[in-house]
Amino acid sequence: MAAFRPSPFRPTMPLRVSSQPQTLLKTPATRPKEEHAAGWSSLWNSDRSHFWDRGKPSPALQDLLSLYPEVVSTLPDGSGRRPRALVPGCGKGYDVVMLALHGYDTYGLDVSERAVGSARQYAASELRNPSAYNFRSTSTSNSSPGSASHGTATFLVGNFFEQEWEAHLAPEGEQKFDLIYDYTFLCALSPDMRRDWARRMSELLAPNGILVCLEFPLYKDPKLPGPPWGLKGVHWNLLAQGGDGLVSGDADSSTSEESTSETGLFERVLYLQPERTYEIGQGTDMLSVWKLR
Ligand SMILES: C[S@@+](CC[C@H](N)C(=O)[O-])C[C@H]1O[C@@H](n2cnc3c(N)ncnc32)[C@H](O)[C@@H]1O
């Protein structure tokens, strides 16, 4: 049994860590890979979501949708359908709803029933009466890469690494996504699951689709225990180089990225430091966009 250490996720609510009672709990990090999903469900069931919940959708993702239409428009002209998006490890569903409000038929997937229950409640009220924080500005509130109308927000309970949940996607037989968004999902997984994460992403992405990663936390030493696990250099290693993502974070990523071969399944088509992101990642978060090679 290990002590639950809340501080690394830097909760949105102030926490007086020193005066906290020592909560003894097996975190996902201390469980074997097979029990990882159950570990996250137990965190939800014991009301720990404030350790990671940011309370609103990602400003960096909104800016990508509004400012980079050439990157996010992945449907051929005249396809006659809305783009489809997936947010694995969606938590309370803020980004799922925001993507739906930007014209995507969006699926939020989470292993926790409790998370999905909260997300469904949130979506029901937010889609009826959207908050301003869903839009970059009021003038762009209706802009979207594929459609001027809102898409749908559907939430599924399921394990990203298994396939059962795919049977609930509509239309039947359509398993691929035009956009997949990862924020604090990869960093929530134990490092030995990273290669499977990359493989699943490649299976679920449509041939012309984009995988969008808001890379966080990049300020944390990847050798320290998580979650969240420090991700400096991890995306590049996993996706571009086809590695196992078990990097030390010691090398200067710009140098190592140029000097090593790229044999991974993905190529990076955009890499930027977002002007707007959550406070906790301001100045360190990076946004990367990937396509299948
Ligand atoms: C750190 S939280 C982030 C939640 C959300 N992205 C956010 O920003 O609020 C990680 C989420 O991933 C979910 N999760 C962990 N492992 C999962 C798995 N194998 N399949 C689906 N969801 C998973 C957890 O239940 C949790 O909601």
Buried-exposed string 179-196: b where 16+ CB fall within 10 A, e elsewhere: bbbbbbbbbbbbbebbee
Section 155-161 average pLDDT: 98
Answer for the pair 215, 287: CB distance below 8 angstroms, yes or no. yes
DSSP letters, 135-169, are: SSSGGGTT--SS-SS---EEEEE--TTSSGGGGG-
The domain tally of the chain equals 1
Angle between helices 113-128 and 94-101 (to 10 degrees): 30
Q: Rounded to the nearest whole angstrom, what is the distance from the C-alpha of residue 197 to the centroid of ligand 1?
A: 13
Q: Which of 47, 111, 120 to mutate to test the pocket of ligand 1 (most atoms within 8 A of CB)?
A: 111
pLDDT at 237 over 60: yes
Section 226-255 average pLDDT: 86
Segments in the chain forming alpha helices (H): 36-45, 59-67, 69-72, 94-101, 113-128, 194-204, 234-235, 253-259
Q: Rounded to the nearest whole angstrom, what is the distance from the C-alpha of residue 11 to the centroid of ligand 1?
A: 15
Q: Which of 27, 44, 53, 110 to mutate to test the pocket of ligand 1 (most atoms within 8 A of CB)?
A: 110
DSSP 8-state class, residue 4: -
In this structure, is residue 39 part of a structural domain?
no
SS3 185: coil
Distances (CA, A) of 77 to 37, 53, 127, 134: 39, 37, 27, 26
Q: Rounded to the nearest whole angstrom, what is the distance from the C-alpha of residue 192 to the centroid of ligand 1?
A: 16
Mean pLDDT of the chain, nearest integer: 86
Supply the range of the domain harboring residue 251: 50-292
Section 13-17 average pLDDT: 26
CA nearest neighbour of 187 among 273, 260, 269, 245: 245
In this structure, is residue 171 part of a structural domain?
yes
SS3 121: helix
Distances (CA, A) of 260 to 163, 212, 236, 243: 34, 23, 10, 11
Q: What angle do CA 57, 14, 249 make, to 5 degrees?
A: 70
10 Rama class: left (phi>0) / alpha (psi -120 to 50) / beta: left
pLDDT digits (tens, 9 = 90+) for 58-72: 999 999 999 999 999
Q: Which of 40, 43, 86 to mutate to test the pocket of ligand 1 (most atoms within 8 A of CB)?
A: 40
pLDDT given for residue 30 in this prediction: 59
pLDDT digits (tens, 9 = 90+) for 168-207: 998 887 889 999 999 999 999 999 999 999 999 999 999 9
Tokens of 95: 């980004």
In this structure, is residue 27 part of a structural domain?
no
In this structure, is residue 11 part of a structural domain?
no
Angle between helices 94-101 and 59-67 (to 10 degrees): 20
In this structure, is residue 15 part of a structural domain?
no
In this structure, is residue 288 part of a structural domain?
yes
Asked whether 183 lines ligand 1 (CB < 6 A), one says yes
Asked whether 12 lines ligand 1 (CB < 6 A), one says no
In this structure, is residue 54 part of a structural domain?
yes
Of the listed ranges 163-177, 214-228, 249-263, the one predicted with least confidence: 249-263
Asked whether 209 lines ligand 1 (CB < 6 A), one says no
DSSP 8-state class, residue 133: G
More confident residue, 275 or 6: 275
pLDDT digits (tens, 9 = 90+) for 73-84: 999 888 889 999
pLDDT digits (tens, 9 = 90+) for 102-148: 999 999 999 999 999 999 999 999 999 999 999 997 554 444 444 45
Q: In what order do the strands lie in the sheet with 177-183?
A: 153-157, 105-110, 84-88, 177-183, 205-215, 286-292, 266-272
CATH code of 189's domain:
3.40.50.150
pLDDT digits (tens, 9 = 90+) for 93-102: 999 999 999 9
Tokens of 269: 């088509």
In this structure, is residue 144 part of a structural domain?
yes
pLDDT given for residue 282 in this prediction: 97
